[in-house]
Chain A
Amino acid sequence: MASYAPWDAELARSIIVDKRSMPGPLLPILHALQEEFGYIDREAEPLIASILNISRAEVHGVVTFYHDFRSVPPGRHVLKLCRAEACQSCGGDRLAARAEARVGVALGHTTADGRLSLEPVYCLGLCAVAPSAMLDGRVVGRLDERTLDGLLAEVER
């Protein structure tokens, strides 16, 4: 379970300034902000734009283009389920449906109590140990009903 700092414009500014002189700094800045706060606050966009001297539209375009960047804080836990072909061949669809039914939200959503974000991922590169998942950064292979339920129980604690 990751813990994030609450949004803080001054802290964000120092993160952005720290990386501004890198060649092509925008992705490293966004990653650093998300690592700190768990998401990219809307207020960060004009801040980045003014410090990097690019348009706000450009920043917004980048934030929304990439699947990784969140516009709202994630749940306290994040469970990513691989939805790509290798995992499909080993029953990944069935497991995804089971997870959705157990948790009560569809992939791509966070439970109402903010406990868990259920996210699809298109390949974790664990195709030789499919189906695979990642819970709060921890990789899990050869997922089956039992291990999936175990992961969901872990989140409940």
Chain B
Amino acid sequence: MSRRLFVPGDAGAVALGSDRLARALADALARRKADVEIVRNGSRGLYWLEPMVEVETAAGRIAYGPVTDADADSVLEAALAGSDKHPLYLGKPEDIPFLKNQTRLTFARCGVVDPRSLDDYRAHDGYKGLERALSMQPAAVVEEITQSGLRGRGGAGFPTGIKWKTVADTEAAQKYIVCNADEGDSGTFADRMIMEGDPFVLIEGMTIAGIAVGATQGYIYVRSEYPHAVTALNDAIAVARRAGMLGEKVAGSAHTFDLEVRVGAGAYVCGEETSLLDSLEGKRGVVRAKPPLPAHKGLFGKPTVINNVLSLATVPIILERGGAFYRDFGMGKSRGTMPIQLAGNVKYPGLYETAFGVTLGELVDDIGGGTRSGRPVRAVQVGGPLGAYFPRALFNVPFDYEAFAKADGLIGHGGIVVFDDTVDMARQARFAMEFCAIESCGKCTPCRVGSTRGVEVIDKIIANRDRAANTVLLEDLCNTMKFGSLCALGGFTPYPVMSALTHFPEDFGAPPRLEAAE
């Protein structure tokens, strides 16, 4: 077998030139007539080192990075010799502290395996979860998920096992598994990484879900901004189908389960589960009132499990290792691990999977290394455009669903966007309202009208027109949106707005609070 050289095909690495690099390496290999196969793996998630090239050696994989196409020849020379003399030599990737200190359960294979190879997936414990699930009663599979304490990783944090049980207990001739891959939150890219780097784990997770609740058809709704993920998933689904892992008699069992990828069309609100279902049905992505719950009346009116990519991609390891294994990580009611995404103006951006409980300050300062610009960190937004802005004074908050809620924020899908001291928080608050106005589905008034009025009121505050009265008005408007909106878009837009106003009043023309002056 030829040696393998890994050049990430992850969109984040491609954005830094890894496609060009792969071509340059292929040319260099051809000139040398070297028996080396280039594998386009996913990313390990150490984006400041991308494109990170890895080579197989007798002592394990050795990494070099960040490699530009101009370095292709010299890196190849060093890599084939296993030399540590090259300036871009990084040693074993697993020994890089950023990676070494993580607990990779959901992301165990991401960046390691060839995302197009089912053999590679199996060689790294793939399909062991399904194997065990097939040896159990469907109800026991659901119970295993419940026992694991897994909560919805899309942001809402609803217990996955309860969702599954509701669907399993609902009688219907047809049920569906829908994967929400409409990862629209700025600062998040974990779903994209999994779909591009380890698509089979998502396929396996959805297959287990189908068998557990009695669903025979699944849909993955991927946003159109993720063309690389769509291709990776379609390729993997075709491979799985050919190998008998999808379709009739899945893995030789009596179960039928098949999958189809559907592509969104640039509507942020379709990440909300009920508008996603309407979109899948071919309608405008308008939010549905609940009840009925999707678990009772979901896609095409049938009982539907709708889960985020990360929730479903975590199912296989829970089945393989058992619910108790997963539950033993974490704190309080937040069990297991969370793939946290460090983004924006941060020195070490990337994917950091760790047990719940790590503090915001550790994530931003220690793991993230502060800002890329080298200026002081002033604010971080956690949980996407609907998440709160945190000042340094709140950096002791542990990453935990309940602790963040108590601090008037949310962990959402686990994205952290770092801002330095040049940020204008009044502008960020205005943007939150503006974004809500652009993306509102229009069904409920607090969101549709409130967001536009919100932009106007913030403009008046910034222009110092009746500032005190308009600040009270803004708080009142946020209150109306929070409690009067049908879904999280209008309901959570007040988080970034109010947190900016509360923690950074000086940007709105008011005297600074002590904590913000730190």
Contacts and interface: CB of A to CB of B under 8 A. Distances in A.
Interface of A: 23-28, 30-31, 58, 61-62, 65-69, 84-90, 121-130, 132, 137, 139-142
B186 A85 contact: yes
A86 B47 contact: no
Interface in B365-394: 372-373, 381, 385
Contacts of B283: 26, 58, 62
A127 B417 contact: yes
Contact of B188 (A67, A125, A129, A140): A125
A132 B15 CA distance: 8
Contacts of A121: 225, 266
Interface of B: 11-12, 14-16, 45, 47, 50, 183-189, 191-192, 224-228, 262-268, 279-285, 300, 341-345, 349-351, 372-373, 381, 385, 415, 417-420, 423, 428, 431, 435, 438-439, 441
A112 B189 CA distance: 36
A86 B417 contact: yes
A89 B418 contact: yes
B267 A65 contact: yes
Nearest to A90: B345
Contacts, number: 149
Nearest to A130: B344
B431 A130 contact: no
Given A67-B265, A89-B420, A141-B16, 4 more contacts: A65-B284, A85-B385, A89-B423, A127-B188
Nearest to A131: B344
Given A128-B343, A132-B15, A68 B265 contact: yes
B343 A139 contact: no
Contacts of A58: 283
Nearest to B14: A139
A129 B265 contact: no
A139 B419 CA distance: 23
A65 B285 CA distance: 8
Given A68-B265, A129-B349, A142-B16, A24 B281 contact: yes
A140 B14 CA distance: 8
Contacts of A128: 12, 45, 47, 189, 341-343, 349-351
B417 A31 contact: no
B300 A127 contact: no
Contact of A66 (B188, B266, B431): B266
A126 B343 CA distance: 9
Among A26, A58, A87, A127, residue most surrounded by chain B Cβ atoms (within 10 Å): A127
Contacts of B189: 125-128
B16 A67 contact: no
